[in-house]
């Protein structure tokens, strides 16, 4: 399987030219101009090559084999669905198969840009052809024919001829038109909508820069070493550092592109933009100026990242914006506002806590939940001696103090109810892809008294230990760690250490299996995130490929054959090293069978778990379809059958919970909308369970011809997954009661 971890970066670059919702095409734009390397690129390429050859964990010769692998990764990144390049193009590129290594040694990027420009030209030609077809009308498309579109062409051969490519794009266009027809769009709406979409893409294509092409090629080279080594351009480096530190200097606004305008998507709480009360979501930015007297620069039609560069800046400096409300009439004058940039904390992406109450007989147990989306730390603030630097461990420690009712901050209101300590804590690491190794070590230290947390082996074979040495424990009580297939790297270090020490229970699904350590290497331009070591659990086990196996496993939500380290090209192998010495806690093995029995008994009759499993089965059946019908009658029949299945699954759940059944999905959606607008009540977790299950289903009725598709799973990534979380709390209460029983019965 090709490397899906290379694709997000590739997609981020290609999305500049291919995704819908971009800027509108300006009338002043002419034909696409071929790109050429910038002056700094050859030196940077040589630096990347040298770092990889000298310091990567895998010792690879810079030879013909590396050259061949790099070419394959590059072609996969540019044309993953085999929709642009023809067999003739690939035949011409073959002359570079065993010479890219020689060219890189000379700092010669001509072959890389030749291939990129061929891709750009093919993409431009296809978009122009689609626009020409739409200009003549969509009436010639016959939706009564038995025709199909392959859903995934990544393993297919490249197209043999221009005629075959035109036929593929005709089918893609037909799929887009049919999707809009099934969404009840009128024929006279569909044509203009698609014209706007393809003009947007063509405009974005013409905004692609030499830096985009260079970064993509460098990452094809890096992926030939392992899936987690990446080159970051200066702009990508800045964004990566922001994600790691959860802080930036700017106005505190999340931006997106809608048509030709940069638009406010949301405001960061307590940021300058929100505090100003002068700007709100959906406002459009038409111009940006620096300082109180700087000249305004019109940014309509700009790339989003270029606009962001103008708006970001050092704390304490001023930026002025010209802003148009979303409902402003054409020609209306913009509103001018002045904002002083600040250091903005991205609190919504930091660790958060909540309390779940679990009734058992006459007792009610309080279980604290700490959701950790990533392992972050503001290295810059730490190095500067800022006592309030942002980090996962510091935030979690404060949350634990609050859950223990030891927080030093006063309640918000004088009549606030007294705090009641929690009985146990669940650390939720689902979808946490990792982050700082230092933070994984420090976080583990909050739950163990002292000892090693992880072993790190370098390419030379030297093994170093990360240790917790302070002897302090933030939480001594019952503990569970909730993981899934998207829990990776630092998440696996933490979960593995908790499991090895028998400090708590690990629940959920088998984790991703990323057992490698990356280091950031500054370059003359940008930086290289490079694999330089592998980490091992204190037991000596590697998590590479294998991941962490939970003590109690939940139903498998993600397909292990599609997601995980073992599915990635050029992933490092699994192995083991000698265990280190560490002090285990009380043996949990005698309790696991009892906990498993209680869990199975509970979920057998749990309507939410049954619903989740049924929706997973539905999602897998849909994703197993390898082709999409372009026959309107067939598609409508398929949709009716799928909606009937979903309605049956939903009503089975509702009947089991004593809720009224619904007559249609429209009625269900109406109920959900009304519930979301109303107050929170005892059924609020049910809606979250519905969303969680629905998030597993890829929208096969969507725009099938988009190279960078957005699925329901991606759109609903932030939805609560309450059925799984609630069961984690139930298991922890089981553990607490069994432990208490064992303590009472002990002599």
Looking at residue 636, its pLDDT comes to 93
Neighbours of 81 (CB within 10 A): 15
pLDDT tens by residue, 656-680: 888 888 888 887 776 665 554 444 3
The last residue of one of the domains, among 312, 345, 378, is: 345
- Residue 624 within a domain: yes
Looking at residue 78, its pLDDT comes to 96
213, 116 contact by CB (below 8 A): yes
Q: Are residues 489 and 631 in the same domain?
A: no
User: Which contacts of 93-97 are long-range, i.e. CB under 8 A and separated by 24 or more positions?
Assistant: 96/67, 96/71, 97/64, 97/67, 97/68, 97/71
Which residue in 217, 202, 298 sits closest to 38, CA to CA? 217
How do strand 505-508 and strand 479-483 relate by DSSP bridges?
parallel
Q: Are residues 567 and 623 in the same domain?
A: no
How do strand 261-267 and strand 253-258 relate by DSSP bridges?
antiparallel
pLDDT tens by residue, 228-246: 999 999 888 888 877 777 7
- Residue 551 within a domain: yes
56, 222 contact by CB (below 8 A): no
SS3 (DSSP) at 91: helix
CA distance 464 to 455: 6
**Active-site hit among 17, 176, 436, 489:** 489
Looking at residue 137, its pLDDT comes to 87
Asked whether the predicted pLDDT for residue 553 surpasses 70, the reply is yes
Q: At residue 366, what are phi and psi to the nearest 5 degrees?
A: -105, 120
List the single range of 272-276, 433-437, 532-536, 615-619 with lowest mean pLDDT: 615-619
Q: At residue 361, what are phi and psi to the nearest 5 degrees?
A: 60, -125
Q: Are residues 419 and 294 in the same domain?
A: no
98, 65 contact by CB (below 8 A): no
Asked whether the predicted pLDDT for residue 699 surpasses 60, the reply is no
* Rounded mean pLDDT, 22-43: 73
Q: At residue 729, what are phi and psi to the nearest 5 degrees?
A: -65, -40
- Residue 369 within a domain: yes
Pull the structure tokens for residue 477.
């009580």
CA distance 360 to 566: 41
- Label residue 21 by pLDDT band (50, 70, 90): very low
Which residue in 454, 516, 436, 456 sits closest to 58, CA to CA? 516
492, 514 contact by CB (below 8 A): yes
CA distance 708 to 142: 26
E strand or H helix that includes residue 88: helix 87-93
Looking at residue 330, its pLDDT comes to 66
In 459-526, DSSP assigns E strands to 463-468, 479-483, 505-508, 516-522
Q: Are residues 341 and 418 in the same domain?
A: no
Q: Are residues 363 and 289 in the same domain?
A: no
- Residue 739 within a domain: no
Q: Sheet containing 479-483: which strands, arranged edge to edge?
A: 352-360, 363-371, 424-428, 479-483, 505-508, 552-553
Asked whether the predicted pLDDT for residue 121 surpasses 90, the reply is yes
Based on the structure, what is the number of domains in the chain?
A: 4
Q: Is the dihedral of CA 9, 13, 14, 20 positive or negative?
A: positive
Structural domain including 717 reads: 607-726
Q: At residue 264, what are phi and psi to the nearest 5 degrees?
A: -75, 115
Which residue in 51, 40, 479, 430 sits closest to 234, CA to CA? 40
489 is catalytic: yes
366, 421 contact by CB (below 8 A): yes
SS3 (DSSP) at 505: strand
- Label residue 443 by pLDDT band (50, 70, 90): very high
SS3 (DSSP) at 693: helix
User: Which letter does DSSP use for residue 730 in this model?
Assistant: H
Q: Are residues 143 and 277 in the same domain?
A: no
Looking at residue 98, its pLDDT comes to 98
CA distance 181 to 186: 7
- Residue 239 within a domain: no
Q: Are residues 427 and 322 in the same domain?
A: no
101 is catalytic: no
Specify which of 100-114, 230-244, 267-281 reaches the highest per-range mean pLDDT: 100-114
CA distance 699 to 175: 13
Read off the CATH number of the domain in which 517 is found.
3.90.226.10
Per DSSP, helices labelled H in 100-259 are 100-105, 110-135, 162-182, 187-205, 210-223, 234-245
Pull the structure tokens for residue 669.
């959606």
CA distance 108 to 482: 49
Q: Are residues 47 and 26 in the same domain?
A: yes
Q: Are residues 308 and 384 in the same domain?
A: no
Residue bearing tokens 């974005």: 204
- Residue 742 within a domain: no
- Label residue 691 by pLDDT band (50, 70, 90): very low
How do strand 516-522 and strand 627-629 relate by DSSP bridges?
unpaired
Half-sphere exposure of 599 (CA within 13 A, CB side): 24
Looking at residue 406, its pLDDT comes to 78
Q: Are residues 499 and 565 in the same domain?
A: yes
Per DSSP, helices labelled H in 555-694 are 589-604, 607-623, 632-656, 665-677, 684-694
Neighbours of 285 (CB within 10 A): 23
Q: Report the predicted TM-score, pTM, of the whole model to 2 decimal places.
A: 0.82
**Active-site hit among 181, 345, 514, 691:** 514
CA distance 604 to 240: 43
**Active-site hit among 378, 500, 608, 734:** 500
CA distance 657 to 684: 13
- Residue 596 within a domain: no
How do strand 352-360 and strand 363-371 relate by DSSP bridges?
antiparallel
- Label residue 747 by pLDDT band (50, 70, 90): very low
374 Rama class: left (phi>0) / alpha (psi -120 to 50) / beta: beta
CA distance 380 to 389: 9
Read off the CATH number of the domain in which 288 is found.
2.30.42.10
CA distance 509 to 613: 14
425, 413 contact by CB (below 8 A): no
Half-sphere exposure of 721 (CA within 13 A, CB side): 26
Q: Are residues 24 and 134 in the same domain?
A: yes
Q: Are residues 196 and 218 in the same domain?
A: yes
Which whole-number Å values give the CA distances from 94 to 410, 692, 746, in the listed order?
Answer: 69, 46, 73
Asked whether the predicted pLDDT for residue 744 surpasses 50, the reply is no
Residue bearing tokens 């979380």: 725
174 is catalytic: no
How do strand 479-483 and strand 424-428 relate by DSSP bridges?
parallel
- Residue 590 within a domain: no
pLDDT tens by residue, 46-88: 999 999 999 999 999 999 999 999 999 999 999 999 999 999 9
Asked whether the predicted pLDDT for residue 445 surpasses 60, the reply is yes
CA distance 257 to 193: 17
């Amino acid at each position: 399987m090709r490397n899906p971890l290379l694709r997000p970066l590739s997609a981020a670059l290609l999305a500049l030219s291919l995704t819908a919702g971009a800027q509108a095409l300006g009338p002043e734009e002419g034909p696409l101009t071929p790109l050429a390397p910038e002056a700094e690129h050859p030196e940077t390429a040589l630096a990347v090559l040298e770092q990889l050859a000298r310091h990567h964990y895998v010792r690879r010769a810079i030879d013909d084999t590396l050259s061949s692998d790099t070419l394959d990764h590059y072609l996969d990144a540019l044309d993953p669905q085999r929709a642009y390049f023809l067999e003739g193009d690939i035949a011409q590129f073959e002359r570079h198969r065993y010479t890219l290594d020689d060219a890189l040694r000379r700092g010669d990027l001509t072959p890389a840009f030749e291939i990129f420009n061929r891709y750009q030209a093919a993409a431009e030609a296809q978009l122009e052809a689609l626009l020409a077809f739409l200009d003549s009308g969509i009436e010639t498309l016959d939706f009564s024919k038995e025709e199909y579109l392959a859903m995934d062409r990544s393993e297919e051969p490249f197209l043999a001829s221009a005629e075959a490519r035109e036929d593929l794009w005709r089918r893609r266009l037909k799929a887009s038109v049919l999707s809009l027809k099934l969404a009840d769009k009128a024929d006279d709406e569909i044509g203009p909508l698609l014209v706007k979409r393809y003009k947007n893409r063509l405009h974005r294509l013409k905004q692609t820069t030499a830096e985009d092409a260079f970064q993509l090629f460098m990452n094809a080279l890096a992926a030939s070493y392992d899936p987690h080594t990446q080159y970051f351009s200066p702009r990508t480096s800045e964004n990566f550092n922001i994600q790691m530190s959860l802080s930036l200097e700017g106005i505190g606004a999340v931006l997106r592109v809608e048509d030709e305008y940069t638009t406010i998507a949301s405001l960061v709480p307590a940021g300058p933009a929100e505090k100003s009360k002068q700007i709100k979501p959906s406002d459009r930015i038409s111009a940006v100026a620096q300082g109180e007297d700087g000249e305004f620069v019109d940014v309509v039609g700009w790339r989003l990242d270029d606009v962001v560069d103008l708006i970001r800046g050092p704390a304490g400096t001023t930026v002025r914006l010209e802003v148009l409300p979303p409902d402003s009439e054409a020609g209306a004058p913009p509103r001018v506002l002045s904002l002083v940039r600040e250091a903005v904390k991205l609190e919504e992406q930091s660790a958060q806590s909540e309390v779940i109450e679990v009734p058992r007989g006459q007792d009610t147990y309080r279980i604290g939940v700490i959701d950790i989306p990533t392992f972050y730390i503001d290295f810059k603030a730490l190095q500067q001696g800022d006592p309030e630097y942002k980090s996962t461990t510091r935030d979690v420690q404060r949350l634990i103090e609050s859950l223990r009712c030891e927080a030093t901050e006063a309640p918000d209101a004088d009549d606030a109810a007294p705090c009641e300590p929690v009985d146990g804590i669940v650390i939720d690491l689902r979808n946490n892809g990792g982050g700082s190794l230092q933070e994984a070590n420090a976080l583990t230290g909050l739950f163990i008294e002292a000892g090693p947390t992880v072993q790190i082996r370098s390419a030379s074979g030297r093994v170093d230990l990360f240790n917790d040495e302070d002897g302090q424990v933030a939480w001594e009580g019952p503990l569970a760690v909730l993981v899934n297939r998207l829990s990776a790297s630092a998440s696996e270090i933490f979960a593995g250490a908790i499991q090895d020490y028998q400090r708590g229970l690990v629940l959920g699904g088998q984790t991703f299996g990323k057992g490698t350590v990356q280091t950031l290497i500054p370059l003359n331009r940008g930086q290289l995130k490079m694999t330089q070591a592998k980490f091992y659990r204190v037991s000596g086990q590697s998590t590479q490929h294998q991941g962490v196996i939970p003590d109690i496993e939940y139903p498998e939500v993600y397909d292990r054959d599609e997601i995980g380290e073992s599915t990635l090209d050029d992933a490092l192998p699994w192995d083991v090293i000698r265990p280190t010495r560490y002090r285990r806690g009380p043996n949990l093995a005698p309790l696991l069978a009892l906990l498993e029995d209680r869990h199975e008994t509970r979920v057998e009759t749990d309507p939410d778990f049954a619903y989740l499993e049924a929706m997973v089965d539905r999602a897998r059946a849909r994703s197993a379809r390898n082709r999409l019908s372009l026959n309107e009658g067939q598609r409508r029949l398929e949709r009716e059958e799928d909606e009937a299945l979903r309605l049956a699954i939903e009503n089975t759940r509702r009947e089991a919970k004593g809720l009224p059944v619904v007559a249609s999905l429209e009625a269900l959606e109406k109920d959900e909308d009304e519930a979301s607008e109303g107050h929170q009540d005892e059924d609020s977790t049910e809606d979250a369970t519905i969303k969680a299950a629905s998030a597993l289903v890829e929208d096969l009725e969507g725009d099938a011809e988009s190279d960078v598709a957005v699925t329901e799973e991606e759109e609903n990534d932030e939805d609560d997954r309450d059925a799984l979380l609630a069961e984690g709390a139930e298991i922890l209460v089981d553990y607490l009661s069994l432990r208490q029983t064992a303590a009472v019965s002990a002599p």
